[in-house]
Structure 1
C-alpha cells in the first residue's frame, strides 16, 4: 500500500494540524504502509530551514519539502505541483489535510485527472464557527472548489463525532471518524518541572492554570481573560500560563484583554513550548483550560488530559465524550461558565484530582495514535479494494469511563 500524504505546511507555527499529520504518517508507516509526506517550507512569516526537493527519512516514513511563496496560510508552490504531475500516479491513495487552500484544491484536481482515490481531513475547518469566520470569502471558495472536491473524495476523515454531525449537515455522507491521539509512552513517566520553573521563575509556588495552543481569535482568549480576572481576585495565588505561538499577530490584542480584566501581572506568555519543556509545563500546571470557539479535535486537550490534569474545555472543543466519562468539565463558550468551572476545581482539589485521574485513563485507553492508525489503514485498504468503508464511530463511554 503506497500512501501519499499532503499538507500545505508542517511548520510549528501552524499548531496541532501539522503535528497530527506527521504523527499519522509515522504511525501508519509503523503498521506496514509505505508512506510519503510532501509539503512546503512555509512557516508563518518565515521559512523552514530544510533541504528542498529531496527525500528526508524520518523514523518510518519519508518527507519532501518544496519551496513556496506564501503569505500566512496562503501558499503557492509550482515545484510541488510539477512534482505531483509527474509522480502522483505512483501512489495507491492520496490523503490531503486542511481545506480552503489553493494547493489542496490543485491536488484534488490532479487526483481526479489521474483517477487516484483521495481522502480528505478538514481538521475542523468545516465547523460552523470556522465557516462563519471571514464567511463571504469562504462561501465563494466552498461553492466553487471545496464542495465539488469533497463530494468526489473517496472518504472524508473527521476527527470527532461532533465534527461528523456538522459535516453531515453540509450534505456529505462519505465520512469516517478517526480521532487524533497521543503516544502513551510519552505521558507514562513525565519529567519534573524544574527547568520550566527556572525559565519562568514567576510561576514557582503558584497555582498554575495552563492554556496550551496558538494565540488566535478562535481559541477564546477573549473569554479566558475576564474568566481569569474573576478567578484571580478570589484566589490570588493563581497564575495563568499562556503557552503557544502568536500565529496571526494577535498577541497585542490578547494582552489588552488581560489588562482590561486587571490581571495581566498574573499571566505569563511563554511562546511556543515543545518537547521536554512542554511536558514540564504540563507537570507544573494544576489545571488545564481550553476556552476555544471551534476545534476539530484538540491535540492539546488530549495532552492535558493524558497528563492527569483536571480540564475545563468548551463545547467548541468537540469532546462531549469526556463529560460522559466524567473526565472533564465541559462548558459553553461563556466567560462566566469557564470561571465558575475553574473556581469549582480550585475549591474542591480532591474531586478535581479524581477528575484528572479519570481523564488520564480515558485517553490512555481510547485515544492513542496506534489505535487511530489501525482504523485508517483499514479505511485505505477498503478504498483501494473498492469495498464498503468501515463504519467507524468514536466510542461512546459509559459514565465510569469504561469503553462500551
Structure 2
C-alpha cells in the first residue's frame, strides 16, 4: 500500500506521535509499503532531513494551530496516489485539512487520537476545554465522525475518550502501539552516557525520560525522591527530556528546596546513543504521569530490561501490573513514593526477576512488528480505493460518556 501520514510537525521534541510514525513507518516500509508524510513544518527545518521518509512541508505557520492554506488543496490533488491517509493527533489544522480534502473522496482517512481525548485535559485545563468546545462541533467532531476509523492504542484510552465531549461519534478501533529497541551494544552505549555524565558513575539511577511537562508529574517525582533518598546515598534522579514550557527552572528550585539538588540531574533532551545509554545505565524507570496515552519511553525502558514504576494514569498500567514488569500507584507524591519504596525494598533476586520480566513484556506486547501488523490489517480490511468498487461507508457507532 501507499500510505500518507499527516502530522502538525515531525520535530522530535513533539514526542510520541512523531516517534510512532517514524518507527512504525520503517517497519511497514520493510514489509513493502510506501510511506510519505505531510506536515505544517517550515521547509528546510533541520530535523526534516533526518526523518526517514519523504516529508512535504507546508509551513511556516503563525500559531500553534498550524494553519496552512496550501495543505488541504495538496491533499485533495495528491490523494489518489495513496491507499490510505492517517491523521495523527487532534486540535491542529492538519486533521481538518484531511476532512476538507477527503470527506467526499474514495480515499479513506484514519485518525490516531494519541490520547488527546482524555478527560484529564478537561479537568486540568477547564478554560482550554471551553475553547475546544467552541471548536469541537464544526471541526474535530466532524473529523472523527467521518474518519474510516478512529484509532486508539488501548481499551483504557478508548473508554476514557468517550468522557470528554458528549457530542461524540466515531468508528472506534484499537491498534496496540509499539516501538523499536535497536540492537546496540548495551555496555558501549552505557559507557558513552557515563562519559557524558561522569558524576553518575557508580550511582543507582532513577530515570525519567520524556517531555518535561506538567502532565508528566516530574514535580511529584522530585518530592517523592526526596523522601526516599536517605535510604541509599548512591541513589540519583535523572530527569531527561525537552523542556517545552520552561519548567526546568522551577524543578531545579524545587530540588534545591528539598535539599537534594546535588542528587538530581536535568540534562535536557537525550538522543541517539545517549538516550539508549541512559536506559542501560539506569536501575529503574519512573513515569508518575497524570495522563499518558501509551508512553513510548515506557516501552523503550522495558525493552532495555528496565522495570517501570508508573502511575495508574498511564494507559498501559494494567499490562505492566498484570505481567509484573513494574509497579503501579496513584499519580500523587504518596503514590510515587510508594512505588519507589516497594522497589527499594525488593531483594536483589526480585529486582533481577522484574528486569527479566520487563524485557519479556516488551517482546510480547510492545514490539513495533505487533503494531505494524495490526495497523496493516486494519488498513487492508477497511481501506484502499478503487473507482470501480468504492470503499463502503462505515457504520458509525454513537457513543456517550459513561454516567450520562
Q: Structure 1 length normalisation: TM-score?
A: 0.87
Deviation at 1:333, TM superposition (A): 0.6
Whole-Å separation in 2 of the counterparts to 1:336 and 1:289: 14
Would the aligned equivalents of 1:6 and 1:38 in 2 still touch at CA under 8 Å? yes
Post-superposition Cα deviations, 1:96-141, rounded to whole Å, max 9, x if no partner, equal: 0010112321222211143531100011111111343332222222
Would the aligned equivalents of 2:294 and 2:314 in 1 still touch at CA under 8 Å? yes
Would the aligned equivalents of 2:71 and 2:97 in 1 still touch at CA under 8 Å? no
Secondary structure in 1 matching 2:188:
coil
Q: Does 1:125 align with 2:116?
A: yes
- Provide the residue aligned with 1:392 in structure 2: none
Q: Does 1:212 align with 2:206?
A: no
- Provide the residue aligned with 1:368 in structure 2: 367
Instruction: Identify which of 300, 310, 314 aligns with 2:311.
Output: 314
Would the aligned equivalents of 1:50 and 1:65 in 2 still touch at CA under 8 Å? no
Whole-Å separation in 2 of the counterparts to 1:143 and 1:331: 36
Post-superposition Cα deviations, 1:321-343, rounded to whole Å, max 9, x if no partner, equal: 11011111011111112112212
Secondary structure in 2 matching 1:280:
helix
Instruction: Identify which of 191, 207, 213 aligns with 1:194.
Output: 191
Secondary structure in 1 matching 2:116:
coil
For structure 2, the 5+ residue unaligned runs are: 385-390, 395-404
For structure 1, the 5+ residue unaligned runs are: 390-404
Deviation at 1:369, TM superposition (A): 1.0
Q: Return closer, same or farther for 1:57/1:229 CA change in 2, 3 Å cut-off.
A: closer
Instruction: Identify which of 83, 93, 96 aligns with 2:87.
Output: 96
Deviation at 1:77, TM superposition (A): 2.6
Whole-Å separation in 1 of the counterparts to 2:21 and 2:335: 33
Would the aligned equivalents of 1:41 and 1:66 in 2 still touch at CA under 8 Å? yes
Whole-Å separation in 2 of the counterparts to 1:262 and 1:58: 42
Post-superposition Cα deviations, 1:293-328, rounded to whole Å, max 9, x if no partner, equal: 111111000011111112200111111111011111
Post-superposition Cα deviations, 1:252-271, rounded to whole Å, max 9, x if no partner, equal: 22223323333222111111
Would the aligned equivalents of 1:38 and 1:64 in 2 still touch at CA under 8 Å? yes
Deviation at 1:33, TM superposition (A): 2.2
Whole-Å separation in 1 of the counterparts to 2:188 and 2:119: 39
Whole-Å separation in 2 of the counterparts to 1:253 and 1:212: 18
Instruction: Identify which of 74, 80, 103 aligns with 1:83.
Output: 74
Whole-Å separation in 2 of the counterparts to 1:207 and 1:57: 34
Would the aligned equivalents of 1:41 and 1:48 in 2 still touch at CA under 8 Å? yes
- Provide the residue aligned with 1:231 in structure 2: 228
Deviation at 1:379, TM superposition (A): 0.7
Pairing 1:279-298 to 2, within 5 Å after superposition? 279-298=276-295
- Provide the residue aligned with 1:355 in structure 2: 354
Answer with 230-239 or 219-228: which moved more. Answer: 230-239
Answer with 207-216 or 345-354: which moved more. Answer: 345-354
- Dislocated runs of 4+, deviation >6 Å: none
- Provide the residue aligned with 2:58 in structure 1: 66
Instruction: Identify which of 137, 147, 151 aligns with 1:153.
Output: 147
Secondary structure in 2 matching 1:36:
strand
Instruction: Identify which of 101, 105, 122 aligns with 1:110.
Output: 101
Whole-Å separation in 1 of the counterparts to 2:392 and 2:73: 32
Whole-Å separation in 1 of the counterparts to 2:190 and 2:206: 14
Would the aligned equivalents of 1:57 and 1:63 in 2 still touch at CA under 8 Å? no
Query: How many residues were matched structurally?
Result: 380
Would the aligned equivalents of 2:293 and 2:315 in 1 still touch at CA under 8 Å? yes
- Provide the residue aligned with 2:133 in structure 1: 139
Whole-Å separation in 1 of the counterparts to 2:299 and 2:87: 23
Answer with 73-82 or 297-306: which moved more. Answer: 73-82
- Provide the residue aligned with 1:395 in structure 2: none
- Provide the residue aligned with 1:258 in structure 2: 255
Higher relative contact order (CA 8 A, sep 6+): 2
Whole-Å separation in 2 of the counterparts to 1:96 and 1:185: 26
Would the aligned equivalents of 2:95 and 2:143 in 1 still touch at CA under 8 Å? no
Would the aligned equivalents of 2:111 and 2:150 in 1 still touch at CA under 8 Å? yes
RMSD of aligned residue pairs (Cα, Å):
2.4
Answer with 224-233 or 191-200: which moved more. Answer: 191-200
